[in-house]
Amino acid sequence: MAFPEAFIQELKMRNDLAEVASSYMSLRRRGRNMVGLCPFHGEKTPSFNIYTEDPHYYCFGCGAGGDVISFIMKIENLDYAEAVKFLAQRAGMEIPETGYDDSMSRLRKRIFEANREAARFFYRSLYLPVGREGLDYLHARMLSDRTIRRFGLGFADDDWSSLTAHLKSLGFSEHELVAANLAVQRRSGNGVFDRFTNRVMFPIIDLRGNVIAFGGRIMTDQKPKYLNTSDTPVFKKSANLFSLNNAKNAGTRTLLLCEGYMDVIAVNQAGFQNAVATLGTALTGEQASLMKRYADEVIICYDADEAGQKATARAIPILRGAGLLVRVLTIPNGKDPDEFIKSKGADGPEAFKAIIERSGNDIDYRLQKLRAAYNLDTADGKVQFLEAAADLIATLAGPIEQDVYASRLCKEFEIDKNAFAAQVKKRRGKRSREMERKQQQKIRAELSGRGDRIDKEKAKQPRSSAAEEALVAYLIRNPDAAGMISRELSPEQFQNSLMRRYYTYFLGRIENGDDAMMNVTADFTADEANKIYQILSKHAGVADTRQSLDQYIKVIREESVRLKRDDVGSMSGEELNRYLDQLRKAKK
């Protein structure tokens, strides 16, 4: 049994989607709708739409869609019941007594509790004789006890059962420990063992103060150097950042993006609380979008080695795509932030502040990298550099930004500005044509159903699937036509099983006098719900005429009696005549 529908209806009325979303992102009006840069993926051009008349959202860039409940679920990393409670608290509403299946909420709660107890266990272990090696390691890295306490650092000893035994003594089940990725099931299926052993432990804390995961660093040269919690019901590695819970309260709209936990902690100890790091993965669009909620500018502070430089090159377009200003820190002598600060002794914080202030933007950084790649003492080298620079400047969206860098290069190399501008224009045209080609490929793929991971039957049945999608959208928007539609079409006539499920579901709700869309978020998986909102958004500009409805019904009927070539080939003469008769009747 779900939450009472009257309660959910009032909850949505009291939590206006546009108002809720605007507390996380910037929105502007476009006609009757609101648009903005999607908070769930990096983008330069707004593709996130809120349809205010029938409150729902859909992003044409990443495919995220839903109502105010699913928005909160996604942006706050909550399950359905938790999101409902979050919105109820926001609106000052009492949660009704209900038989809603909150098993996932209860599991998430237990994982949070297990992680909290694990963090306490690791921290205590660090200051016991069993953790002496870990404490010596952290002190050797010049971390103070105050910093260790502030970040809740700890130690996992080399006993493969110490944490699991402790947590089981507190009442946690093996299933809960495996779900939290604190323990691993034995291959025999009999019992579990600790996931983390003989490592310094770094708790990962979310924006609400929950311990959601751990990173563990080994103190030798063994591989892997770092071991991180895998994705769990409370943690998604690609959508979280280490120490963002501290950085968001630093009093600045600038973030320092470091390469790892130790860099973040060292930078914090030096007085810079606005540092964050990714969690064992390359920077993702989700993480960039998350940073955009708390910052306008990001300074990349990756290591100066080759791996760090490659990571910087990958991160720049992702951060720019999220609408962030980007600067790149250049650390002398190839050091990482931790090494640099320590190498300066007591002057470390001031020296680090100085190189932050000298850091150039990402365009200057990339131009400097290009300079190093070509021999500028030769004519050929200059030409190659300027052509590469024209490629780079062609990627800039703003004409003023393009003009500033073009003017600077033309003056430095004493070349004709018109000639350089023509080269940039040529490169922009090429990029534009390439982007248009990719966009057309994307549109063709969407129309054909290729790559649709939710509706895998669409590519095989494009004609019937298209008509069935359109009819489902028509039904949702015109519930008063449900009786007539149900008389014309039975669910069995739908060739696409997912569309058949949608048709049956919405028809049933409308016939029962219920709001068709009220419980979509609860009754379907996130992907299936996204697909529904995608269908509605795709048909938002389509006129709901009786003529169009009749056409959808006609196509669905025709396709429902159309047989595959192999089926026709195996028919007897009598069966074939009956089939042809069915086709004639379907076309009438």
Residue 205's SS3 state is: strand
Q: In this structure, is residue 98 part of a structural domain?
A: no
Token pair listed for 135: 């404490």
Query: How many domains does the structure of the chain reveal?
Result: 5
Residue with tokens 């809740």: 152
E strand intervals along 338-493? 360-361
Note whether 349 and 378 are same-domain residues: no
Asked if 139 and 126 touch (Cβ cutoff 8 Å), the reply is no
526: domain CATH number is 1.10.860
Q: What is the pLDDT of residues 238-259, one digit of tens each?
A: 999 999 999 999 999 999 999 9
Residue ranges with strand state E in 262-324: 275-277, 297-301
Q: Give the domain CATH number at 320.
A: 3.40.1360.10
162 domain-assigned = yes
Whether residue 305 sits in one domain with residue 183: no
Do residue 439 and residue 477 come from a single domain? no
583 with 466, same domain: the answer is yes
Residue 86, domain member (yes or no): yes
Q: Is 203 found in the same domain as 151? A: yes
Specify the pLDDT at position 565: 44
Q: Among 172, 204, 235, identify where a domain stops.
A: 235
Q: Determine the 3-state secondary structure of 511 from DSSP.
A: helix
Q: Is residue 292 part of a domain?
A: yes
Closest CA to 261 of 198, 204, 212, 197: 204
Q: Which residue has the tokens 């869309």?
A: 517
- Asked if residue 34 belongs to a domain, the reply is yes
56 and 110 share a domain? no
158: CATH: 3.90.980.10
Torsion, Cα 386 392 394 400, to 10 degrees, reads -90
One domain for residues 76 and 110:
no
Does the residue 365 lie in any domain? no
Tell me the pairing of strands 226-228 and 254-258. unpaired
Residue 425 and residue 318 share a domain: no
Q: How far is CA 527 from the centre of its chain?
A: 14
Q: Which amino acid type is present at position 188? A: S
User: Residues 342, 343, 346, 347: what is their CA dihedral angle, to the nearest 10 degrees?
Assistant: -120
> Which pair of tokens denotes residue 83?
């999101």
Single out the residue in 316, 335, 360 at which a domain terminates.
Answer: 360
Ranges of residues in the chain with a pLDDT under 50 are: 1, 565-566
Domain closes at, from 91, 112, 127: 91
DSSP state of 536: H
Candidates 364, 388, 394; CA nearest to 376 is 388
The CATH number for 24's domain is 3.90.580.10
Phi, psi dihedrals of residue 194, rounded to the nearest 5°: -65, 140
Separation between Cα atoms, residue 555 and residue 449, nearest integer Å: 18
Q: Is 144 among the domain residues?
A: yes
Give me the phi and psi of 357, to 5 degrees please: -65, -30
CA angle 142, 295, 215 (to 5 degrees): 40
Paired strand residues for 221: none
Whether residues 575 and 477 share a domain: the answer is yes
Domain range for 23 is: 5-91
Distance CA 199, CA 451 (A): 42
Q: Counting every residue, how long is the chain? A: 588
**DSSP run (H or E) holding 183:** strand 183-185
For 206-251, the three-class secondary structure string (H helix, E strand, C coil) is CCCCCEEEEEEEECCCCCCCEEECCCECCECHHHCCECHHHHCCCC
Q: Is residue 130 situated within a structural domain?
A: yes
Q: Domain check: are 295 and 402 in the same one?
A: no
Quick count: other Cβ atoms within 10 Å of Cβ 401?
A: 13
Encode pLDDT of 490-512 as tens digits. 999 999 999 999 999 999 999 99
List Cα–Cα distances, 53 to 16, 30, 31, 34, 50, in angstroms: 11, 13, 11, 11, 9
Residues 42 and 72 placed together within one structural domain of the fold? yes
Q: Nearest-5° angle of CA 433, CA 436, CA 441?
A: 125
Same domain membership, residue 129 and residue 169: yes
Torsion of CA 28, 283, 75, 535, to 10 degrees: 70
At 331, give phi and psi (nearest 5°).
-95, 125
Secondary structure class of 307 (helix, strand, coil): helix
Phi, psi of 440 (to 5 degrees): -65, -40
